[in-house]
Structure 1
Amino acid sequence: MADLQPPLDEPIYDLAVRPWTNMYPPEVPGSYVARVRNGVEMFQIGLDERPDGPAMHFFDQTMTHRQAGDYAHSVAAGLADLGVKPGDRVGLYLQNDPQFVISLHAIWLLGAIGVMHNPMLKARELKYQLDDAGVTVLICLESLYETALEAIGGTQTSHLIVTSEFTFAGENPAPILGKKIALDLGEALSLEKMFADYLGKQVEPYSADPAEVALLCFTSGTTGPAKAAMITHQNVAYGEIYLQEGRVGRDDIVMAGAPMFHVTGITGHIAAARLNAAPMVMFHRFDPGEYLRWLEHWRGTFSILALTAYIAIINHPDLPTRDISSLTKVFTGGAPVSPAMIARFEEVTGKYMHNTYGMTETSSPTHMVPYGMRAPIDPITGALAVGLPASNVYSAIADLETGALLGPGEIGEIISMGPDVVPGYWNKPAESAHALRGGVMHTGDVATRDADGWFFLIDRAKDLIIVSGYKVWPRDVEDVLYEHPAVLEAAVIGVPDDYRGETVKAFVSLRPGYESTTVEELLSHCKELLSAYKYPRLLEIVPEIPKTATGKILRRELRA
């Protein structure tokens, strides 16, 4: 840790030497050195310590660490014959299937860089990412082949490798996989052919320096065009935060419900499991019914998902009939969480949901509620704590205009530094310099902290609504909406108003059984609990709130 220890005379670190470490449970260290240097070493843990132990449970099938490693070496040998070398970019246009994990391991065995592509992307969007990252090889699912083929035209992508979502699904594939399709693959290659042609091949593993780029993960694009954050091998290694503060251990079973193309899937699922040689439970993509089914079947113990996913779980009709008693470590992140939602989740499941805070640019949470602790509520803002700054992380609240550091109780922007913060964006030096001013990540998220070091997220700075000169944070209104028993999901934006400048508009989706709830009833609820300038003048009941694939609310679509 010595090479990561910042000079304490730098302003950001002058915080009474990180007082929040005094709040940590005894088992959580104030700092630690990651147990591996790179992704290859991370995968090697399972091969060394539990070669014949389960690495992945895919539906009702199981793959051992040895089997997964052999497949990865086969793919690496095949990619090497295609000319893939250290630093080359290989795209993954896949769901949460074993091929994702196998291919990622193969990419790192060659010292190449994995580029994560959301499988919901259309051809035009995928083409932008392929061009932006300079992807030379793209691995995609058969169901995405036509889109991928259209997207690679005119790009640097010279090889398209296809794989079937049914390959490891067993004799009775789950309906969520859809129907098998007959494809004319033309000259496209397949992972399955690589598995056969390079059976038994072993490549010489590339030993990446921790500072080398391991992944390019595109930001969710909730506020603008997506940028490719450069996730280093060090960033991946410090996914160990889930072991230190989430207390994920060798005997845990990780429920891999978040998309693996996202940093939560990379560090919160793959790293959290592989650093322990623990198994993951995978089921192609998130579906609340499938999550509950395989949680019960495999006795999953650890979960980190977006709040919207947990909302879907507690409202799913299968929940009362499923045994979820094995699930003991529940975490969430990706958006502000209201105290009402935490309470509702615990009431329904008996499980306490631990809050976390991070972003693509931090690869892992910079703030967490350590396992076994409960998040306090800020008495001034009513916000639920997103956590304490994590081990190795230095964080502060800075003035939104001047950048000056603020004290407890003052509202400003979260700024952080630590081994999980990325070095910048791929081929975007100006954007990198702006986000990482002075080497410190400026998040754009507005928060406050208390004297003990608990951080309370208020909202995105860009989402602030100014009503007749008064500041309204969407979270304040959303929290009140979530207190109404009819509300499933809520999102709030500001819309132009000739008199007030802006006015508050809310969008709400309703829980099953509450379809008769009226707009007037919800507005009256808000009016009763909010100041006159805060309560929404406009409210629209919608079937579903638009979200990214990772569960974040797309306010720009609501504003359109």
Structure 2
Amino acid sequence: MSTHPTAVRPASVLEAFRRTAATAPDDVVLRFLGHDLTAAEVDRRSDALAAALRADGLAVGDRVALYLQNDPQYVVALLAAWKAGAIAVAVNPMLTAREVRLILDDSGARVLVALEELHRAHGAAAVDGSTVTTVVTTDPFSDAPDHRPAGAVVGTPDGAVDLDALVAAHDGATVPEHVPAPDDTAMLTYTSGTTGRPKGARNTHANVVRGGIAYRDWYGITAPGGVLGIAPLFHVTGLSGHIAAALVSGVPLVLTHRFEPGVVLDAIRTTRPTFTVAAISALMALCRADPDARTTFASFTAIASGGAPIAPAVVEEFESATGHYVHNAYGMTETTSPTHAVPLGERAPVDPRSGALAVGKPVPDCATRIDAPDDSGIGELLVSGGRIVPGYWERPDETAAAITDGWLRTGDVGVVDDDGWFYVVDRKKDMIVASGYKVWPRDVEDVLLSHPAVADAAVVGVPDERRGETVKAVVAFRPGTVDPPTPETLIAWSKERMAAYKYPRIVEVVPEIPKTATGKILRRALRGETP
């Protein structure tokens, strides 16, 4: 593990970027589908956009919503918002008009920066009657026109102004330098909403820069190198593990608009990044799509995965295909991730009681304890430290329920071993009680994933008259599987490999497990519940 004892520790990501722009203006900071942007170019564009927004009435503390994909415009707009003293609001590009409107209303956003296609499809309806007074739209392929999909509709929608036109009109303009205080909110990062109405976590400037430094120091991200941006930038992993990590490390961030395995693999081959963090499902999609994965992935010095549990069998498959060990990591929206990670040079052990792969050891500036109700040592994972958000946007009751004396209740059930390795057994709310026995979905899923035909698996509890709850497994088979097992065969196979109260009584085969953009299983959907 590299600790970078002499590395600069900026007070904010904006400060880190300003330093690069001032001292190394010709350094490439963004790489997008064959087009590179230097620090000077990004600085000039974000200056111009900040000046344009200020001229339009944007004030310090106002909110700027970003409804974009993994494009250079996301980083430009984010830096522009911070330069103007505004708070950025992350909006999932998969959300529909109703869902976008919920975030706009909750945040009170004054500006919406959106992709042209997203604004046509959902944004226009979302902003009608909202607090938004200014809409800025952009063509994501303006810097890489050769990659624009055939038949794509290009042009500024009605009621919006083009981002490039704004930048051109204010080219060379600046705003009075705004230096954010550490406790100022940098980003409202909304929870996925899979457990209820989304709420905005207040990731401060101190939270975000500490998250980037944690990735830099733990995984040894140094120049020359590059960070491959696989995770969505609207998610805290994209904010902390991609944007912040790259900018505080002084290395380029490689972006590919959307996650398409073929496009991402081409980007790896041409840009030779050295680090990435992504959901394990994305990493597996890449290695399974590349027959020469060892050559493709040869430039990497560290690969991490967070956002969803990882089965030991999947880690082994990825390492066999690429030659790289996946370093498990753990964090949350509210922790500006990560809080735990597997150090470089070490391999995560497997908990003999639950079969869970360790999520790692606490990273610097993170304290952890297990709130165990009995002598089993198993209980809710609580974390504190410099990356814990101060609370939720205008939600004092929910803040008080989640954070007490600086300790965040994660809702995850965990355990720590004598060597300091932490294991997350499962989500507290996802525990299944069958005939009085506790069943953790991950325990069953890990067994199912060891079956040669199973590519993915998810386990939920469903009502049962006799057992109270019973175990239901939903599985997806590997592409090209010849003579796949029947549900009955899988039930019998599972029965041979786990305790009688654990094995699934119901198995459903589906083409794909429903998940969030960051790889978390949508268990509510599998149980047939409505959001």
Q: TM-score, normalised by structure 1?
A: 0.91
1:179 Cα shift? Answer: 3.5
CA contact 1:238–1:364 (8 Å) conserved in 2: no
CA contact 1:54–1:65 (8 Å) conserved in 2: yes
Using the alignment, how far apart are the partners of 1:212 and 1:97 within structure 2?
26
Using the alignment, how far apart are the partners of 2:422 and 2:6 within structure 1?
22
Using the alignment, how far apart are the partners of 1:291 and 1:545 within structure 2?
22
1:182 Cα shift? Answer: 4.5
What runs of 5+ residues in structure 2 fail to find an aligned partner?
none
Please tell me the residue identity of whatever aligns with 2:125: E
Equivalent pairs, count: 525
| Residue 276, structure 1, aligned to residue 249, structure 2 | yes
Percent identity of paired positions between Structure 1 and Structure 2: 45
Using the alignment, how far apart are the partners of 2:301 and 2:457 within structure 1?
28
CA contact 1:142–1:162 (8 Å) conserved in 2: yes
Task: Specify the SS of the correspondent of 1:270.
Answer: helix
| Structure 2 equivalent of residue 204 of structure 1 | 176
| Residue 299, structure 1, aligned to residue 267, structure 2 | no
1:32 Cα shift? Answer: 10
CA contact 1:45–1:277 (8 Å) conserved in 2: no
| Structure 1 equivalent of residue 313 of structure 2 | 340
**Aligned counterpart for 2:11 among listed residues 34, 37, 46:** 37
**Aligned counterpart for 2:348 among listed residues 370, 375, 397:** 375
* 1:110-160 CA distance string (max 9 Å, x none): 110000000000000000100000001100001111210100112111111
* 1:401-444 CA distance string (max 9 Å, x none): x5xxx78x610011010101101100111110011022200000
- Going from structure 1 to structure 2, the CA distance change for 1:416 and 1:33 (only over 3 Å counts) comes to farther
Using the alignment, how far apart are the partners of 1:381 and 1:188 within structure 2?
53
1:372 Cα shift? Answer: 2.0
1:50 Cα shift? Answer: 2.2
Using the alignment, how far apart are the partners of 1:366 and 1:258 within structure 2?
18
Please tell me the residue identity of whatever aligns with 2:42: A
CA contact 2:294–2:323 (8 Å) conserved in 1: no
| Structure 2 equivalent of residue 150 of structure 1 | 125
* 1:240-276 CA distance string (max 9 Å, x none): 0011111111222110111000111111001111002
- Going from structure 1 to structure 2, the CA distance change for 1:553 and 1:144 (only over 3 Å counts) comes to same
Using the alignment, how far apart are the partners of 1:559 and 1:530 within structure 2?
22
| Structure 2 equivalent of residue 438 of structure 1 | 405
| Structure 2 equivalent of residue 167 of structure 1 | 142
| Structure 1 equivalent of residue 509 of structure 2 | 541
1:189 Cα shift? Answer: 1.0
1:34 Cα shift? Answer: 7.5
1:314 Cα shift? Answer: 2.3
Using the alignment, how far apart are the partners of 1:308 and 1:319 within structure 2?
19
| Structure 2 equivalent of residue 311 of structure 1 | 284
**Aligned counterpart for 1:461 among listed residues 422, 428, 439:** 428
1:174 Cα shift? Answer: 5.4
Q: TM-score, normalised by structure 2?
A: 0.96
- Going from structure 1 to structure 2, the CA distance change for 1:124 and 1:491 (only over 3 Å counts) comes to same
| Structure 1 equivalent of residue 30 of structure 2 | 56
CA contact 1:491–1:507 (8 Å) conserved in 2: yes
Using the alignment, how far apart are the partners of 1:93 and 1:309 within structure 2?
22
**Aligned counterpart for 2:214 among listed residues 226, 229, 241:** 241
Bigger shift: residues 199-208 or 105-114: 199-208
CA contact 2:236–2:333 (8 Å) conserved in 1: yes
Please tell me the residue identity of whatever aligns with 2:416: R
- Going from structure 1 to structure 2, the CA distance change for 1:425 and 1:481 (only over 3 Å counts) comes to same
1:334 Cα shift? Answer: 0.8
CA contact 1:494–1:503 (8 Å) conserved in 2: yes
| Residue 559, structure 1, aligned to residue 531, structure 2 | no
Runs ≥4 in structure 1, deviation > 3 angstroms? 31-34, 317-322
Task: Specify the SS of the correspondent of 1:434.
Answer: helix
Please tell me the residue identity of whatever aligns with 1:214: A
Using the alignment, how far apart are the partners of 1:348 and 1:488 within structure 2?
15
1:513 Cα shift? Answer: 1.8
